[in-house]
Structure 1
Amino acid sequence: MPRTAAATPRLATLLGPAFVAAVAYVDPGNVAANLTAGARYGYLLLWVLVAANAMAILVQYLSAKLGVVTGRSLPELLGERLRTPSRRAFWMQAEVMAVATDVAEVIGGAIALHLLFGLPLFVGGLITGVVSMVILSVHSRRGQRTFEFVVVSLLAIITVGFLCGLLFTGIAPGDAAAGLVPRFQGTDTVLLAASMLGATVMPHAIYLHSALSRGRHGKVEPGPRLDRVMRATRWDVAGGLFVAGSVNIGMLLLAASALRDTPGTDTIEGAHAAISDALGPAVAMVFAIGLLASGLASTAVGSAAGAEIMAGLLHIRVRPFIRRVVVMIPALILLAVGVDPTFALVLSQVVLSMCIPFAVIPLVRMTADARVMGDRRNAPIVTAAAWLTAGLIIVLNVALVWLTVTGAA
């Protein structure tokens, strides 16, 4: 009997979930950290982004594999295994993470609208929240494939917006190569490195990716189809994280080559002004458009992650519109009272850093457990690499929290 297209889908048609998760890796928090690192220290911390992207590829692949093999998301599996008090406590920290994620992303969108149109930050944040509701409605009304198309389109805009400046500046190849050698220059570079890593491995992306893979493929039984889906998943994760990694590295290269030692580049608004002065207003406008796409896409993805976390841990599904309104309130309050947006971004990254272990540790344990994964459990070398990755992430994020709280940097 001939194989049908439905029975043997083309590899390209299986791609998509990782590109949605990759949006979390190019959110406004990443923009602030990468531009600051490049403007202050040139190519010194380039190695951090390369290492962080390698870690992200491993972690996101494990999340996707968990969803495909078990037919469950990470929040669902945790919800099934935790007792009620532990499950509710786990949800509370995850909900704090979701709010912190939304703060960074709504503020990023607000800053972009302020740069493009001069809108007050509060109005820009409100518009960002409303547009993200429209994007989320695509998921509920048109399904995951259409949602993936919309988010990946925004990812394309982000890529162009943040990388186009490289066409108008010269990169020093020798200095860039030297930046691949791990080293620091004082406490401030340790803080920046921890911030860059913390902004790369985002906990909500770990929760969501397992759900996206489950939603796209369902539970795939052992056999040729599982082999094909896992092969597609590896390509999906490699492709999505390659794009996100290229954008992050490109931002640091842009700042190192065009903004080095320029005053005011420790804020997104200052970096935008410096880009305009160094490369022209057209490049600065494209950068602001990329920032707007980053805020819109990442806040929609963050809201989808929050909904999945609530459904998995509390067994409650809330309409996206209601959840979107409730979760964006803290960000709007911060904008309304005039809190410095850069400070709010830094604070949100600290909160996210504290939540990373709650996502990474259960992920590594479950994907290494034969009772959960069957013969698709991690190979010993993969488990060792995953625990090493988890340990490095946790140690650097503890350093980030400590240095931020004590003001040692």
Structure 2
Amino acid sequence: MSKRQVKYDTDSLDEVNNSVSFNSNSSIKQKFLSFLGPGLLVAVGYMDPGNWITSMQGGAKYGYILLFIILVSSLSAMLLQSMTVRLGIASGYDLAQVTKHYLNKPLGYVFWIIAELAIIATDIAEVIGSAIALDLLFGIPLIVGAIITVLDVFILLFIMKFGFRKIEAIVGALIFTVLAIFIFEVYIASPDVTRILNGFIPSSKIITEHGALYIALGIVGATIMPHNLYLHSSIVQSRTYDRKDEDSKAQAIKYATIDSNIQLSIAFVINCLLLVLGAALFFGGNSESLGGFYDLYHALKTQPLLGASLGGLMSTLFAVALLASGQNSTITGTLAGQIVMEGFINLKIPNWLNRLITRAIAVIPVIVCLIIFHGNEAMMEQLLVFSQVFLSIALPFSLIPLQLATNNSDLMGRFKNKLWINIVSWTLIVILSALNIHLIIQTFQEL
């Protein structure tokens, strides 16, 4: 595929493309601050409600052993997001646009449908997380809370009127709110530091125990999310670097990668805190009945080690952080939906309609599940975990086009993949696909 084959009438996410000032001749500090932001929006996807449920269940049921999975997933995410940065800046196209031109028309539609399903799966996690948070904080029934989340899209549209930087600032404030809450909660829980450190050492139990592997793949799916690959390749183009100058592109790639790695490091810390909190408070006890949002909320509230007043504070902060996380992820999920639709099928519809359709489709299975199971909380949380495993299964359909595109010299020029990146990225794709097949076989054997 040569670069001249990719033709689009408009830029990727054209309402924000090339809209944020970036001066390649300014000081290092100014250049860094200019590019600080897109990584925040990407990092949100690495700490959404799906991460919460998988990490906390992993800690409650299997202790600290899955910290290794969080570490590997986070390092892998840094590499993959850096590849999307290079793709977006070097080529001027997003991953959806490029993928379409790698495939024939029928196969292109298959990849588009899988990408849309992955975004819907991501949205399901946000809907469930936000609805549960509203129930915990205000006693709003789950089905009403799920419907209320449809209105989130209008909040995003309102914020975008004030500029893309405002979105980044709001997301950043919510991220650091979540971080502060969980640092405080883990501090109060007083986990064993030695056991935490040992958790970063690989354990054979992750593969041999079906339950641990299921949660591990859920963590992978919740950490390396397909929609983030499409999102990042687009929003890095929001800066006003010189599109025709190779040195300007190189600087943009450098600072965008730094931004991405910093924000993903914060996401890594938050995910570790989530797992550590689940392990410190619940592992070794009646862990089979713990790990869900409601279980954790009530367990925090009644935890003997915390006392009534401190337990009440921690449970409330937990619900506040959950709501903030769900709202954050809403912003990035709706943006990714627009990028995928425009990139794959070159269909541009009004932003409010695009986002409303995506969210409405995600709300439908949640409401159906609530009706069928009469508002059963446990079923909601299991649906959320399944959505994360689906993301892991869908991930290769985004990773393979990303790998092929970033290794294409016609498209990338001097910014194509180095040999070690090709080796590592293909290894990730093969290992992840093999683990998925193993999980599916195990699941059918146990039916």
1:157 is aligned with what amino acid?
T
2:322 aligned residue: 291
Distance across 1 between alignment mates of 2:399 and 2:263: 19
Deviation of the 1:312 alpha carbon: 0.6
Query: Which 5+ residue runs of structure 1 have no aligned equivalent?
Result: none
CA RMSD of aligned residues (A): 2.1
1:102-124 Cα shifts (integer Å, max 9, x gaps): 11111111011111111101111
Are the aligned partners of 1:68 and 1:219 in contact in 2 as well (CA < 8 Å)?
A: no
2:430 aligned residue: 391
List aligned pairs for 1:170-209, cutoff 5 A.
170-185=190-205, 186-209=209-232
Q: Is it true that 1:125 corresponds to 2:143 in the alignment?
A: no
Q: Which shows bigger deviation, 324-333 or 107-116?
A: 324-333
Query: Which 5+ residue runs of structure 2 have no aligned equivalent?
Result: 1-20, 374-378
Deviation of the 1:78 alpha carbon: 2.0
Q: Secondary structure at the match of 1:284?
A: helix
Distance across 1 between alignment mates of 2:267 and 2:143: 28
1:344-385 Cα shifts (integer Å, max 9, x gaps): 212322332221111111101111121111111111011111
List aligned pairs for 1:7-406, cutoff 5 A.
7-9=24-26, 10=30, 11-139=32-160, 141-185=161-205, 186-217=209-240, 220-263=243-286, 264-278=289-303, 279=306, 280-337=311-368, 338=370, 339=373, 340-404=379-443, 406=445
Distance across 1 between alignment mates of 2:438 and 2:237: 34
Deviation of the 1:22 alpha carbon: 0.8
Distance across 2 between alignment mates of 1:111 and 1:158: 16
Deviation of the 1:288 alpha carbon: 0.8
2:301 is aligned with what amino acid?
S
2:53 is aligned with what amino acid?
A
Q: Secondary structure at the match of 2:417?
A: coil
1:230-258 Cα shifts (integer Å, max 9, x gaps): 22122111111001111000111111112
Deviation of the 1:7 alpha carbon: 4.8
Cα 1:65–1:5 shift into 2, 3 Å? closer
What TM-score, normalized by structure 2, do the two folds share?
A: 0.85
Are the aligned partners of 2:150 and 2:360 in contact in 1 as well (CA < 8 Å)?
A: no
1:327 is aligned with what amino acid?
T
Are the aligned partners of 2:301 and 2:312 in contact in 1 as well (CA < 8 Å)?
A: yes
Are the aligned partners of 2:83 and 2:402 in contact in 1 as well (CA < 8 Å)?
A: yes
Cα 1:266–1:5 shift into 2, 3 Å? closer
Distance across 2 between alignment mates of 1:117 and 1:123: 12
Distance across 1 between alignment mates of 2:442 and 2:240: 42
Are the aligned partners of 1:129 and 1:324 in contact in 2 as well (CA < 8 Å)?
A: no
Q: Secondary structure at the match of 2:185?
A: helix
Distance across 1 between alignment mates of 2:139 and 2:47: 23
Q: Which shows bigger deviation, 146-155 or 4-13?
A: 4-13
Are the aligned partners of 1:30 and 1:200 in contact in 2 as well (CA < 8 Å)?
A: yes
Are the aligned partners of 1:353 and 1:401 in contact in 2 as well (CA < 8 Å)?
A: no
What TM-score, normalized by structure 1, do the two folds share?
A: 0.92
Cα 1:53–1:5 shift into 2, 3 Å? closer
Are the aligned partners of 2:337 and 2:358 in contact in 1 as well (CA < 8 Å)?
A: no
- The alignment-based identity, stated in percent, is 30
Deviation of the 1:154 alpha carbon: 2.1
Distance across 2 between alignment mates of 1:7 and 1:178: 44
Cα 1:319–1:260 shift into 2, 3 Å? same
Deviation of the 1:137 alpha carbon: 3.7
Are the aligned partners of 1:203 and 1:355 in contact in 2 as well (CA < 8 Å)?
A: yes
2:17 aligned residue: none
1:34-83 Cα shifts (integer Å, max 9, x gaps): 00111112112111111110001101110111101111101111234433
Distance across 2 between alignment mates of 1:17 and 1:273: 36
Cα 1:310–1:324 shift into 2, 3 Å? same
Deviation of the 1:6 alpha carbon: 3.8
Deviation of the 1:219 alpha carbon: 6.6
2:435 is aligned with what amino acid?
L
Q: Which shows bigger deviation, 275-284 or 196-205?
A: 275-284
Cα 1:365–1:80 shift into 2, 3 Å? closer
